[in-house]
Structure 1
């Protein structure tokens, strides 16, 4: 029997002989010729006793629900929560009185005291569900059909079905036990996930989180030229790691180098390059020996300045993103020079982040703007995403091009997804 105070607030045909009803205080109901029964919603902290005010179809697989207290929910046909738009994600308030989906699948919201617009069919979507606790996004990784997000307050994971666009997955992230606090980076080596955190380096396996080395913070891990070696940048120095099929273990710290190593890469000769924002760029050769060679490069060695240099490996070359464009290393002269192949693209733009995707396109940060160099045309094109300006964690930007349909960008609150 229906509750005595049952009140239907909206109805939507979802099949030839079925309706979906929203109610004031009793959740959703599925109505068929044979019966009327509750339609459970599945997701993080969805209350079935809240007031559902409106219901619309976005497409054949997704619906939007309006509420008086928690904004707008996007759900799939099985009732799984995909996304929640609320005041926290930019709405003027959480009191939704009506909804409308236009021909471009964008959503208009009639509020208690205004109108809002959600560009739902946009290529850029904000991923910041309540389960992520509004932390800042620093790192991400995709491994074995699991999406991992590293935030300022811990590591979270989400099992992913075979979706082409992962932004349509239910946003019910769960925290990884033992990985609370600041996560600086995530790396995958030999089908294993490495977690760089404020208090150490950890590996995550089916058995849970296992410490590789504790006692200091780790920024990043990069694979060495050989399959059995990896290099980790930490708060003070460079750590060598041994990689095997079932474990990653700590070897020695590289002697003679004690600077913070947040930006690290390794070339084909197992030479480690690391940049320090206030010192310059270091080249470390013979990393497995007891007396490696450490050399510092500054404006005395071709760089435009000793400040604000960021080292990356792009198109199989060691390059430096600087305040005056991209520089590359001339081994014959042992100096850095403006990289001619990038100068025609960037000129002397201030660049502080570079990431190459599987298609050979290069994602970058210019000042506080996210862009990509598209090499699909005869002449490379610079494309920008103005809607993400000032939305990223300044100085700690993160871009992860999983594939052409799924690019994750760390944000001040959660992440952004670009298709």
Structure 2
């Protein structure tokens, strides 16, 4: 019983989830993203679409097979360069394609690159010369069937067989696991075990092309024709499907379609885009060139794994975000920047910069545009219902609207908005360009009563409580007290800060009927009794983890909508508890109207948000994929010489090793997240090169250069437009070291070091032994040299001693000679004196003396003469002079060989510093003779008059 109940709950929840998840909204238009041919760099026409298990999209294009991974486009042409008209991806990941005279499949090689394998080569060209275009491919009961007009080529177990058309095939379809062919003569044929069996009563469609067949109920098949419209085949009978959808197809022709989760039908048209209808044929959405498509001819449509639509156009590709809880009213509905919206008397009114527009709330939005309310063509700041009357705050004044036109201009001043005055029933206050005015509700509607005196500043941000009117102007707050008769402000106080902690005012709002003042996400209320602002801790705590808000508004369901950084968030209230919802609204970032937070909550299914380019409709109960984690892929890994492609259904590549010369690597990233691609961001980290994850960025390429050898792991995460992060995708690779840092190189270095150490050690030992030997020899040599030197020194010393002895003896001799010379000179002087005495004695007259005296004088004279004649001192003097000055005389003779002995003597006497008179006496010449001898000596020595002769001789 418990198991049955659990199964019931699971089944119910699953069906309910699918129903909600597959919801196609009939209010507004989904977001449409167009891809032009200059973006995907291929042909204009796109005939067929597919998606692999990794989420990559594939398109059968005129120039080949296109692949789109969310970040980049890749093109894979067929060998004969013809257009691809169809494709099919089987469970193994092979991408089967067909073109003109060519069919086969693309599959990933061991490096992830898509390689083409032709199957048309198995066709016998002798029997079938022209294959023609392959228009349809089906994966059916372990067979791949390629259908052309003339025949079908069946590929199974590596073999190709041929199924010939009875007359001529048009197209083929798989419905409820059954394969059908349309033959132009036999009608619709069912293929069973290699044979064709006609379906009853289907030849009536032979004169038209069938472009689609879909099961829309039990034993009920929808048939889509090109020109004749839509038909139902049920119980072997074909009947026209008389619905709005059929009328559309008859008018615009159809090229097939798609089914969205067995609940909605997408119908492609030749002339007017697509429609989405339910299984009853009611049109839910109509999307054409006027509503966002770049081309009205839709060749194919495809529902992806997130229930979004891809359209192959006659010129380009379109993505339709059907899974989003948002739809939009934009330029195609003839509305621009929206400042406010409201529903009144069955119409949806929007205040825009061009005026007030309206649309019937109960009618279908798919075709009609918004209509302008007559008389409101000007900037409209607000539109609101006051006591059942629709009032517009317009640049032209306060306007009353009824029946699609302005019925009354209440006041001609420009207004921002109106609020009821507490404790004054029927009285309202309006903020206008000159300050504030009072309005009164009467039987004739709202009427202008008076302008409030005493204050002329204006703003759209004002609130009233029981005591004061509060106005936020710029970053200041004004507290104003109305007089009892509402004619003037009796007091006005400007407030620049609420507390000493915070300066300036963030926003002014009324929550649950009470006025709150917000600054830096702190909320304050005012106490009139204490005349101070005090913080509301509960509300402040509620916004603690929310980014700094700039505006706040409470809707009709008590939800709190807030604006921050040009983005939107909401605290949804349920059972007195708030849940913060931010992710879905990230798609609106940058499109909100600055300083005008416009959120109109009619009910949880219908929430309108004013944008700079229109109006957004949000269904908070519509489950969608915003909470699902996206997937991140390292799409390619490149290095010089090779590229590895990932995410193409190949097996995981392991043991990637890169040579050191190719250490410049490049990664590309992708995520099969196609909603709001401009807000998809990546973060990466290369371990161990990067210390932390990179900042989030839209860039899907990263390069690293000059990486060192080692093991690396590249991690990539993606964050979608809703702020949801994926799990990390990784790839591991190794950069080999250069040959000189390779393990084998280190082994070689180690062995070489061992050998070197061993060799050097041996050489050192040998060297030491040799050194010891040579040291011994050297010591012996030094000893002998020392001994020889000692002997020589001893010998030299002995010689020196001998020499010193000789020198000493010579010195003594020289001294004796010098003494002798000196003595000889004294003797010479003595002889000179004696000669003088002799001359004096000769002058004495001896005759006059007596004989005794005469004898004595004679004896004395003889004695003196004898003494003089026997004295040999002069000869001894010459001898000794030559001995004393031998070296000088020798040098002088060597230098001047022509010098005479007499001149040598003169030179010696001059050297001895003898006077001219002494020299004359010694040489026994006159003084004149000495001067003459000196003159001749100078001439022989080559001296001029200025040179000193004695000094010259002393230098010889």
Please indicate the TM-score interval, normalised by the length of the shorter structure: 0.7 to 0.9
The whole-number CA distance in structure 2 between the counterparts of 1:134 and 1:67 is: 27
Which residue of 1 is the match for residue 515 of structure 2? 318
The whole-number CA distance in structure 2 between the counterparts of 1:80 and 1:412 is: 29
Which residue of 1 is the match for residue 554 of structure 2? 356
Which residue of 2 is the match for residue 186 of structure 1? 383
Does the alignment pair 1:372 with 2:372? Answer: no
1:98 to 300, 323, 334: 300
The whole-number CA distance in structure 1 between the counterparts of 2:411 and 2:475 is: 26
Q: 1:56 to 1:194 in 2, by over 3 A?
A: farther
Q: 1:75 to 1:209 in 2, by over 3 A?
A: farther
Deviation at 1:30, TM superposition (A): 6.5
Structure (1 or 2) with the greater strand fraction = 1
The whole-number CA distance in structure 2 between the counterparts of 1:287 and 1:173 is: 47
Name structure 2 gaps, 5 residues minimum: 1-206, 620-956
Does the alignment pair 1:396 with 2:626? Answer: no
TM-score by length of structure 1 reads: 0.79
The whole-number CA distance in structure 2 between the counterparts of 1:351 and 1:313 is: 15
SS in structure 2 of the partner of residue 147 of structure 1: strand
Does the 8 Å contact 1:236/1:261 carry over to 2? no
Which residue of 2 is the match for residue 165 of structure 1? none
Does the 8 Å contact 1:177/1:209 carry over to 2? yes
The whole-number CA distance in structure 1 between the counterparts of 2:579 and 2:302 is: 36
Does the alignment pair 1:172 with 2:374? Answer: no
Deviation at 1:263, TM superposition (A): 1.3
Which residue of 1 is the match for residue 426 of structure 2? 228
Deviation at 1:170, TM superposition (A): 3.6
Does the 8 Å contact 2:265/2:277 carry over to 1? yes
SS in structure 1 of the partner of residue 538 of structure 2: helix
The whole-number CA distance in structure 1 between the counterparts of 2:543 and 2:287 is: 38
2:586 to 386, 393, 409: 386
Does the alignment pair 1:55 with 2:248? Answer: no
Q: Which moved more, 1:356-365 or 1:71-80?
A: 71-80
Which residue of 1 is the match for residue 436 of structure 2? 238
Which residue of 2 is the match for residue 140 of structure 1? 341
Deviation at 1:84, TM superposition (A): 3.0
Structure-to-structure mapping, 1:248-263, within 5 angstroms: 248-263=446-461
Which residue of 1 is the match for residue 540 of structure 2? 343
Does the alignment pair 1:125 with 2:322? Answer: no
Which residue of 2 is the match for residue 412 of structure 1? 612
The whole-number CA distance in structure 1 between the counterparts of 2:450 and 2:335 is: 37
The whole-number CA distance in structure 2 between the counterparts of 1:99 and 1:22 is: 15
The count of corresponding residues between Structure 1 and Structure 2 is 403
Which residue of 1 is the match for residue 310 of structure 2? 108
2:478 to 273, 276, 281: 281
The whole-number CA distance in structure 1 between the counterparts of 2:329 and 2:522 is: 32
Give the number of the structure with larger relative contact order, counting CA–CA contacts within 8 Å between residues 6 or more apart: 1
RMSD over aligned CA atoms reads 3.9
Q: 1:175 to 1:360 in 2, by over 3 A?
A: same
Does the alignment pair 1:151 with 2:340? Answer: no
Does the 8 Å contact 1:277/1:310 carry over to 2? no
Does the 8 Å contact 2:273/2:286 carry over to 1? no
The whole-number CA distance in structure 2 between the counterparts of 1:281 and 1:47 is: 62
Deviation at 1:185, TM superposition (A): 0.8
Which residue of 2 is the match for residue 84 of structure 1? 287
The whole-number CA distance in structure 1 between the counterparts of 2:269 and 2:595 is: 37
Does the 8 Å contact 2:571/2:581 carry over to 1? yes
Larger gyration radius, structure 1 or structure 2: 2
Does the 8 Å contact 1:72/1:84 carry over to 2? yes
Does the alignment pair 1:202 with 2:404? Answer: no
Deviation at 1:383, TM superposition (A): 1.6
SS in structure 1 of the partner of residue 350 of structure 2: strand
The whole-number CA distance in structure 2 between the counterparts of 1:261 and 1:294 is: 19
Structure (1 or 2) with the greater helix fraction = 2
